[in-house]
Each structure stands twice: as C-alpha cells, then as structure tokens.
Structure 1
C-alpha cells in the first residue's frame, strides 16, 4: 500500500491524499488497524509506523476529534485525518467491499466539505 498527495487535482484548489496500490489482504489489515487502534483503543494511528504502508514522502495520522474535520495539514507532507468515532465507523464501512474481494474500483473514505479528500484505490491510476 502506498500513500501520496495530489495537490490542486482539478484546478479548483481541491487536493487528494491517496492510499493506493494494495490488495484485499492489505485492505483487511488496514480496516482491522482502524478498528483496533482508533475505535477500540481510542488512540491515534500513525501510518509511518505500519510496515505494509509506504510513507516515503508523506505521512498520514488518524485521530479522534469531537467533530468530523477530515484531512488537515500545515506542510503538505504530514496529514492528519481527524474524525469522530462515528466518522471512523463510516470509513470502515466504505472499506468493506475491498475486504471481501479484489477490486479495481475506488472510494472516498469520508464525505466532508473539506478541500482535501481521502481516496482509497487498489490501482495506481
């Protein structure tokens, strides 16, 4: 699984943080990490600490907050995805189809009015 960032993806100032290039097994591992670390233990999840995710140029840290804010960054290298428990439960539901079978589809992992979206795509394109 790879992590990258695409700035101003459509000329409207919208950006994408993308988790891509993964298979069903990695999708399951990612889903299970979200469940265990964030929902059950209520701790932050730092993707740079996860062996199967390549965070060479960027990092993404998931954490709980009192409202769903989505992805925020100060330096366009380290990103913070801050959501409520309910927001993370919705995210896990968006991941489920990728955990059931290999897929070429993609999904956005939240629906928040925020200039940066979080894209989950098994293929690089």
Structure 2
C-alpha cells in the first residue's frame, strides 16, 4: 500500500490524498488498524509508522475530532484526517468491500465539502 498527494487532479482545484496499489490482504490490515487504533483505543494513527504503507510525497495521520472535517494540511506534506467516531465507523464500511475480494474499483472514504478528498484505490500505481 502506498500513499501520495495529487494536486488539482481535475482542473477544478480538486486535490486528493490517495491510498493505492494494495491487495485484499493489505486492505484488511488497514481496516483492522483503523478499528484498533482510532475507533477502539481512540489514538492517532500515523501512516508513516505503518510497516506495510509506503509514503511517496506526503504523510497522513488519522485522529478523532468533535466534527467531521476531512483532510486538513498546512504544508501539503503532512495531512490530518479528522473525523468523528461516526465518520470513522462509516469509513470502515466503505473499506469493507475491498476486504472481501480483490477489486479494481475505488472509493472516496468520506463525503465532506472539503478541498482534499481521500481516495482508496487498490489498482492505481505510482506514475509520476
């Protein structure tokens, strides 16, 4: 599994942080890590510290917040995905299909009016 940041992907100033290039096994590991660290232990999850995730041009840290804000950044290198417990529970539901079978599809992991989306995309590759 890899992570990167893509700026202005559609010419309309839409940006994404992308978790990509993974298989069913890594999707399960990621889902279980989110559940254990963020939902159960209520701790931050820093993807730079996860063995099976390779950061390309950024880092992503997940953490609980009082409102669903999505991804925030000050420098376009370190990103914070801040959601409520309900927001993370919904994210787990969106990840679940990738844990059941290999997929070439993709899924945005939240639906918040925010300039940076979080894309979960197993079949994408690093092409820059």
Deviation >2 Å, runs of 4+ = none
Secondary structure of the residue that 2:55 maps to in structure 1?
coil
Q: What pairs with 1:37-52 in structure 2 (closer than 5 Å)?
A: 37-52=37-52
1:10 aligns with 2:10: yes
1:120 aligns with 2:117: no
Q: TM-score, structure 1 length as denominator?
A: 0.98
| 5+ residue gaps, structure 1 | none
Question: Following TM superposition, by how much is the alpha carbon of 1:12 offset from its aligned partner in structure 2, in angstroms?
Answer: 1.2
Q: What pairs with 1:1-125 in structure 2 (closer than 5 Å)?
A: 1-124=1-124
Residues matched between the structures, number: 125
Question: Following TM superposition, by how much is the alpha carbon of 1:11 offset from its aligned partner in structure 2, in angstroms?
Answer: 1.3
Question: Following TM superposition, by how much is the alpha carbon of 1:7 offset from its aligned partner in structure 2, in angstroms?
Answer: 0.3
1:102–1:112 distance in 2 versus 1, CA, 3 Å: same
